[in-house]
Structure 1
C-alpha cells in the first residue's frame, strides 16, 4: 500500500520519485485502482510536492497512472487488448526495421548494440535495465533510417516502454532478454538478414508471452 513506500534520497528527486512509484506499481505494492494523492505521496517519500507532480506527469505519459475526473490520479489498469494490439503492430515494424538495418548499420551503431547486449544492470536497478533495452531497439530503428517507421514506433512507445519496465523487474526475464539481444547482435555481425529477423521474432514472441503470463 501507499504507506509502505520508502523515503527517497536527494537529487534528482523527480527521477527517484518516478522510479520508486513505478517499482511499487510493477511489484504490485500499488495495485491498479490505487488513488495517489500528491501531498500524501510527498509526505510518505519525504519530498516536496514539486518532484511528485513532475513524476506524476511522466507516469501518466508512460501509461502507469491516469487522471479520472472527480476522482483524481489512480494507478492504471493494464489494458491487455491494447497490449496485444501494440505487440502486433510492433512485430511488423520491428521486423521491417531489422531487415533495413542489417544492411545500413554503422560500425558505431553496431558497437553500441554489442555493448548494450552485454550490459546487465544491478539487481535493484530495473530502470537502467529497461533503459538499456529501449536504447537497444532505438539503435536498430535509427540504423534502419526510415523516418516514418521511427515515427510509428514512437506512437507505440507508451505501451512498449511500460512493458519493458515490467520485464526488467523480473531477473529471469532480464537474463532471457540479454541472451535474445546477443543472438540479434550476432546476426547483425554476420550481416545475415533472415537470421536477424528470426532472432528478433523470437525475442518479440517471448516478450508477448511474458506479458500474457502476468494476466
Structure 2
C-alpha cells in the first residue's frame, strides 16, 4: 500500500523547515530535536516529523542517539574535508558539461546581481549574509542545473544542501563579501567566454578558497 500523498507533503514541509532552521543556525549543533515540540511548532502530527528527522539524518543534518532521541548533528573538520574533496572532483566536471548550455540572459542577470552586491559592500552599506548566501547558491546552481549529466546534478544537489550549513555558520565581513563577489564575477566572465577548461580551473580555485575559509574561520577548534 502506497504512502498517503498528504503524509509525503507534510514530511517534506517538516524536512525543509528543520533544515532551514539548522542552516540559519537557529537550531544549534547538539541541540535536542523533540518530536512533540516540532509537531506543535509546525501544527502537524509526529508521524511526518519522525519521517523528516530520518531523512535529515541520512543527509547529515541530524544524529540519532539510541535511548536519547534526535539532535542537530555537529560539523567536524572531517565532514568539511570530505565534502570539499567531492566538490573538487564533481563541480569542475559539471561546469565543463554546462558551459555551452547556460543561457546568456542568465549570465547577464547573475553578473548584474554580483556587481550590485559588490558595489553596495564597497560603499559600506549593510549587506545581509543571507543575501550573499542565496546569490552564491544560485551561482553554483546555475552551473549544476545545466550540466548534461542528470546523476551528477542529483549528487551535487545533496552536497550543496550540506555546504550551505557551513556557509551559514561562518560570519563574513564586508571585505569578505567584496572578495566573494569578485570571485563570482570572474566566473561569470569566463562562463561568458564559453571556455570549459578555464572555468573548471577557476572553480577549483574558488572551491579551495571556500574550504580554507571555513576551516580557518569556523573549525579552528
- Provide the TM-score with structure 1 as the length reference: 0.69
* Distance in 1 (alpha carbons) for counterparts of 2:203 and 2:184: 8
After superposition, residues 37-116 of structure 1 pair within 5 angstroms as 37=34, 48=41, 50=43, 57=52, 60=56, 63-116=60-113
Report what 2:210 is aligned to. 207
Report what 1:170 is aligned to. 172
Report what 2:10 is aligned to. none
Going from structure 1 to structure 2, the CA distance change for 1:111 and 1:85 (only over 3 Å counts) comes to: same
After superposition, residues 89-168 of structure 1 pair within 5 angstroms as 89-118=86-115, 120=117, 123-124=127-128, 126=130, 128-167=131-170
Contact 1:63 1:76 in 2 (8 A): yes
Going from structure 1 to structure 2, the CA distance change for 1:144 and 1:116 (only over 3 Å counts) comes to: farther
Shift of the alpha carbon at 1:107? 1.7
Contact 2:111 2:185 in 1 (8 A): yes
Which runs of 5 or more structure 1 residues have no equivalent in the other structure? 1-13
Going from structure 1 to structure 2, the CA distance change for 1:183 and 1:35 (only over 3 Å counts) comes to: same
Going from structure 1 to structure 2, the CA distance change for 1:152 and 1:37 (only over 3 Å counts) comes to: closer
Going from structure 1 to structure 2, the CA distance change for 1:69 and 1:124 (only over 3 Å counts) comes to: farther
For residues 96-119 of structure 1, give each alpha carbon's deviation from its aligned partner in whole angstroms, at most 9, with x where no partner exists: 122222223222332343244346
SS in 2 for 1:197: helix
Aligned length: 194
Going from structure 1 to structure 2, the CA distance change for 1:23 and 1:150 (only over 3 Å counts) comes to: closer
Shift of the alpha carbon at 1:38? 5.7
- Provide the TM-score with structure 2 as the length reference: 0.67
Report what 2:195 is aligned to. 192
* Distance in 2 (alpha carbons) for counterparts of 1:105 and 1:157: 19
Going from structure 1 to structure 2, the CA distance change for 1:67 and 1:176 (only over 3 Å counts) comes to: farther
Higher mean C-alpha displacement, 189-198 vs 77-86: 189-198
Report what 1:23 is aligned to. 24
Going from structure 1 to structure 2, the CA distance change for 1:163 and 1:115 (only over 3 Å counts) comes to: farther
RMSD: 3.7
